Amino acid sequence: MTETVLPPDEALIAGRWRTGSGAPTEVVDPATGRLLTTLHGASPEDVDAAARGASRAAADPAWRDLAPHLRARYLHRIAELIDANADRLSAIQTADTGKTRTETRALAASAAGTFRYAAALLETAEDALTPSRGAYVTVTTHEPIGVVGAIAPWNSPIASDAQKIAPALAAGNGVLLKPADWTPLTSLALGRLITDSGLPEGLVSVLPGRGSVVGDAIVKHPLVGKVTFTGGTNTGRTVAHAAAEKLIPVSLELGGKSPTVVLEDADVEQALAGVMYGIFSSSGQSCIAGSRLFVARAIYDEFVGELVERTRKLRVGPGTDAATQVAPMVHHRHRDQVAAYVDLAREEGARVLCGGAVPEGEQYTEGAYYLPTVLDGLPADARTCQEEIFGPVLVCLPFDDEEDLVRQANSTVYGLACGIWTRDLARAWRLAQRIEAGTVWINTYKQFSSSTPFTGWKESGLGSEKGRDWLRGYQRQKSLYLGTDPAPLPWAS
């Protein structure tokens, strides 16, 4: 494995790399419990310096007046640097989050793709000449907002960072990136590459630290004109309140409790592989994890029995082992929260069909491991079936008919994603219309394309990311009227 070169104890603040003046945080490798580094977070004063720097850089004609195809070059350069450093970024992210190298390599590639897609959007965006109703020409255009606050979660740092920085820069803004408290290292490594790309100084700052201090200071800073947030629903609500006070736009990508549905006629092999990938990849730490499984009652026992057999055989281990399928949780504290949810499920009367414990064996004692777990025997309104666990925990429920399925599947506050497994595409299509979710996968799961919008319904989010209109969320619309009649307006004469 390539040696992991951890970023030093520094943050990127207004174009300068220096130690943050906030509190120190310990960054731990969740596979071993080993201290990776101690990092000083930013302080509210650092946030202020970064916001001023980003505002200055965004307003500088060197950036503000740059033609789209020239601005796009910076995004391409960042993408090239990510590709050239993909192995190192993957190693850092595996050390920081515990994820498998296969996954962190894919996340780095996806981040590069995001910068390229944002560059393509920038080069092809068009403004509209609108139908005029008088002696004037009307044009509607889009301008940058200024400074964007980007607040990211810990589960897929480089991909979520790119999904915020790339469209914000393409749209002409400066960015203040706040990585999650537990996983700042990949974002700082990405910050180094952004510095190396030659992007105007100060345009992007990377500000690690506590959410309640650094995140809060970013959202409330007077120069921040938009917030893009990905994280838990409760934190999202706090951020939205603060944004509402300032009357600034906010986009929120929040939690989920997504249903996967197996109909009687599903291809069982395909459905088993899809259901297991949907919940146990990323150790279930995915907003779109298919964490509630609904199986037609006629095939319930057989399907769930086979699922449990296969789940028992999943290989649990460190992210650095190429054979690992289920890597450790991001942090020991998070592992303990997941374990507490399984205890709650037991109290609620669940049957633990497999897992439900930390794995046994010396190789697991120091890491934040938890066995992939399958539960059943609970009603759809049990807390275990309603609340986001964000770990490798699947709860199975039978359904009788379509009405019963739709009622149960839609019975949570979330509406992020859904998977449907069946050979009957007409039925899948009909069901997909009735499920309250921003994304529905039919006979596939957890697939993504930058060109396809991603939206959370209900308490899973506000606004959309990706797709053709992505940059518009980072811009302000302006309409221009250009008079064509040299005569004075009649009222004044």
Distance, in Å, from the CA atom of 461 to the CA atom of 150, rounded to the nearest integer, reads: 15
306 is annotated as an active-site residue: no
Rank residues 165 and 304 by Cβ distance to ligand NAD and give the closer one.
Answer: 165
Rank residues 138 and 464 by Cβ distance to ligand NAD and give the closer one.
Answer: 464
Q: Which amino acid is at 137?
A: V
CB of 204 to ligand NAD, least distance (A): 16
Written in H, E and C, the secondary structure of 155-182 is CCHHHHHHHHHHHHHHCCCEEEEECCCC
DSSP string, 15-27: TEEE--SS-EEEE
Rank residues 22 and 255 by Cβ distance to ligand NAD and give the closer one.
Answer: 255
Q: What is the CA 300 to chain-centroid distance, rounded? A: 32
CB of 348 to ligand NAD, least distance (A): 21
Rank residues 377 and 463 by Cβ distance to ligand NAD and give the closer one.
Answer: 463
Residue tagged 């080993």 (tokens): 34
CB of 475 to ligand NAD, least distance (A): 21
Within 8 A by CB and 6+ apart from 140, the residues are 127, 128, 130, 477, 478, 479, 480
CB of 210 to ligand NAD, least distance (A): 6
- Which one of 10, 99, 226, 253 is the catalytic residue? 253
Distance, in Å, from the CA atom of 29 to the CA atom of 92, rounded to the nearest integer, reads: 10
253 is annotated as an active-site residue: yes
DSSP 316: B
366 is annotated as an active-site residue: no
Query: Torsion-angle region of residue 445: left (phi > 0), alpha (psi -120 to 50) or beta?
Result: beta
CB of 465 to ligand NAD, least distance (A): 7
Residues composing the chain: 493
- Which one of 164, 178, 446, 466 is the catalytic residue? 164
**Do residues 42 and 11 lie in contact, with contact meaning Cβ atoms separated by under 8 Å?**
yes
257 is annotated as an active-site residue: no
- Which one of 287, 385, 396, 418 is the catalytic residue? 287
Summarize as ranges the residues that interact with ligand NAD (CB under 6 A). 151-155, 178, 180-181, 211-212, 215-216, 219, 230-232, 235, 238-239, 253-256, 287, 388, 390, 416, 456, 461
Q: How many CB atoms neighbour CB 16 within 10 A?
A: 15
Q: Which tokens hold the place of 358?
A: 């930390």
Residue tagged 């005029």 (tokens): 132
Rank residues 217 and 345 by Cβ distance to ligand NAD and give the closer one.
Answer: 217
CB of 366 to ligand NAD, least distance (A): 22
DSSP string, 179-209: --TT--HHHHHHHHHHHHTTPPTTSEEE--S
DSSP element (H, E) containing 315 = none
Rank residues 113 and 231 by Cβ distance to ligand NAD and give the closer one.
Answer: 231
What residues are labeled active site? Answer: 164, 253, 287, 465
